[in-house]
Amino acid sequence: AQSVAQPEDQVNVAEGNPLTVKCTYSVSGNPYLFWYVQYPNRGLQFLLKYITGDNLVKGSYGFEAEFNKSQTSFHLKKPSALVSDSALYFCAVRENSGNTPLVFGKGTRLSVIA
Amino acid sequence: DTAVSQTPKYLVTQMGNDKSIKCEQNLGHDTMYWYKQDSKKFLKIMFSYNNKELIINETVPNRFSPKSPDKAHLNLHINSLELGDSAVYFCASRLTGDTGELFFGEGSRLTVL
């Protein structure tokens, strides 16, 4: 069975500083990995994904994530945080076969302080 | 030109009532999902339909009955509502076989009193 762990409930960072939101995953085959962001009272918005190829993927709003197969991790990063990045971030994984559903982590609340 | 639209956005009702939430996508996708987000923001898959056929049913009580009249629509009917059904329900869709992401609706917040 596939699963995702986001070890931090909350990440606080000062505006302008780099941010990292951690994610580790478990799947039996090769993973498809995703990051989504959720603003208050809104649906989930796609940020970026890893399917294959380059381990560093770049996404929306200046976010990037690094796939590390040996550590089964897919941490989300941004070089310089903005107050507007404050939101709930979800990591998700699914196996690269058939109609397996996307399984989400419990979410990490990012708070960027001015 | 909303990609995945859900109605209603808010629903407040009494225990024991029956209610429905509708979802429509105009992205040409053939797989649709219902996810439940509880008060702690956990997101859990409930159902998945592919071309109107149920393919995933994640041990959801049979008070919940999804229906897909065509591949662009997936509705959720809930009978005999309970307090624990209070949550935000998200519809999502994607193209089968694609490596692409899920597209989510804005959610339907159900409050059972």
The pLDDT confidence band at residue B45, using thresholds 50, 70 and 90, is: very high
Model confidence over A11-46: pLDDT tens digits?
Answer: 999 999 999 999 999 998 889 999 999 999 899 999
Partner-chain contact B56 A106, CB within 8 Å: no
Say how many C-beta atoms besides its own lie within 10 A of residue B35's C-beta.
26
> Nearest-CA distance from A106 to chain B in Å?
5
Q: How far apart are the C-alpha atoms of B82 and A88, rounded to whole Å?
A: 27
- Give residue A70's Cα distance to chain centre: 17
Model confidence over B19-44: pLDDT tens digits?
Answer: 999 999 999 999 999 999 999 999 99
The pLDDT confidence band at residue B1, using thresholds 50, 70 and 90, is: low
DSSP label at B76?
E
DSSP label at B84?
G
- Give residue B6's Cα distance to chain centre: 8
Chain B residues whose beta carbon lies within 8 Å of the beta carbon of residue A2: none
Model confidence over A62-111: pLDDT tens digits?
Answer: 999 999 999 999 999 999 999 999 999 999 999 877 677 899 999 999 99
Tokens of B62: 């049979």
The pLDDT, as a whole number, for residue A29 is: 85
Counting one residue from A and one from B, how many pairs have CB atoms under 8 Å apart? 57
Contact in structure between A25 and A114 (CB atoms under 8 Å): no
Model confidence over B54-109: pLDDT tens digits?
Answer: 888 887 899 999 999 999 999 999 999 999 999 999 999 998 876 778 999 999 99
Q: How far apart are the C-alpha atoms of A92 and B112, rounded to whole Å?
A: 29
**Whether pLDDT at A53 is above 80:** yes
Chain B residues whose beta carbon lies within 8 Å of the beta carbon of residue A41: 107
Q: How far apart are the C-alpha atoms of A98 and B48, rounded to whole Å?
A: 12
